[in-house]
Amino acid sequence: MRKDAGMSLIELSIVSIILGAIVAITMGLMITSSRNATNQAIQGHIEDRGTAIVDACKREFGYAKMSGSSVFTLNSTNALGIAANTNGTEVRFQHVVNVDTSTSTNTVTYGYTSKVGTDTGASLRVCVIRFEPHTVIRESSSAPSTTIAQFAATWSGSTWAGVAPPSTLDTEIVNLDINQDGDKADRFLVGKLMKYVTDSAGARLTDEELSDYVMLRYDSATAMYSSLTGTAVGDQIFSYLPTTATLATNATQIKANVMLGRLDERRQKFLTTTCSEQIRLRSKQ
């Protein structure tokens, strides 16, 4: 065979196979890289949301009044603070809105406003921050189902005009071991963390969504945790510190502990993050 005769069919086939392999590997790497980038974007997004929530809690809680009562009743109680029987999913509070220095006692008026000194109607208002679920995430079909009735039993404000629980929760079976405990028998609630401001009669003035994708591990109607594995009081969304304390005893801090999560684009991973902050209560309780 002459040296200038060009490549044989066998040589051409080998080159084609090698080029095909290179293209396939390159495409695979590009697809994997794209998926990783998407997952990183989702992870960053929920981490940013979690950071924003705890930062908001720091601003709101540091000088908040959480003891005593408000002038209206919501779900059979008018108490401020972490609402009883809500598994740490709701907190109610007020801020100082006026101090009357014309008397020797310096009368303090509590309420809520973002316009201190200019909002004459701020007195007696209350701010309520609470978790409101919309979806049940089941690790598999063997995980227990959850009805809204189980949650509504401890959802403070279930009879609050205009903000009633949905008649049903959406259900999603993901076939993933979300909390990596070796089984697929767990369930989680995903929903929104909402902020409401009420007037002195309890009517809602403003509604604000602090974040969606907020997540609770749901063990039972009386055991819900902002943690993949934890079962302590401090694993709830809101808790006092020390965890055995109450505002009536020796609580000095409130802990905001929020877990967020969502499926990746291919529904093969459930991405989660937890952000936590211990906030000193500076206002006199």
Q: What are the tens digits of pLDDT across the range 160-180? A: 655 666 667 889 999 999 999
Instruction: Name the band, by pLDDT with cuts 50, 70 and 90, for residue 284.
Output: low
Comparing 33-42, 115-124, 217-226, the range with the smallest average pLDDT is: 115-124
How far apart CA 253 and CA 260 sit, in angstroms, is 23
Position 101 in a domain:
no
Residue 252 has pLDDT above 90, yes or no: no
User: What pLDDT does 249 receive?
Assistant: 66
Residue 275 has pLDDT above 90, yes or no: yes
Query: Based on the structure, what is the number of domains in the chain?
Result: 1
Instruction: Name the band, by pLDDT with cuts 50, 70 and 90, for residue 54.
Output: very high
Question: Which pTM value belongs to this model?
Answer: 0.81
Residue 69 has pLDDT above 90, yes or no: no
Position 138 in a domain:
yes
The proportion of the chain whose per-residue pLDDT surpasses 90, expressed as a percent, equals 32
Position 61 in a domain:
yes
Residue 79 has pLDDT above 60, yes or no: yes
169 neighbors 148 (Cβ within 8 angstroms): yes
Position 59 in a domain:
yes
User: What pLDDT does 1 receive?
Assistant: 46
Position 46 in a domain:
yes
User: What pLDDT does 110 receive?
Assistant: 84
User: What pLDDT does 158 receive?
Assistant: 47
Domain range spanning residue 145? 36-67+129-196+209-280
131 neighbors 237 (Cβ within 8 angstroms): yes
Could you tell me which of 50, 17, 94 has the C-alpha nearest to residue 215?
50
Position 63 in a domain:
yes
User: What pLDDT does 118 receive?
Assistant: 56
Position 239 in a domain:
yes
Position 272 in a domain:
yes
Instruction: Name the band, by pLDDT with cuts 50, 70 and 90, for residue 38.
Output: confident
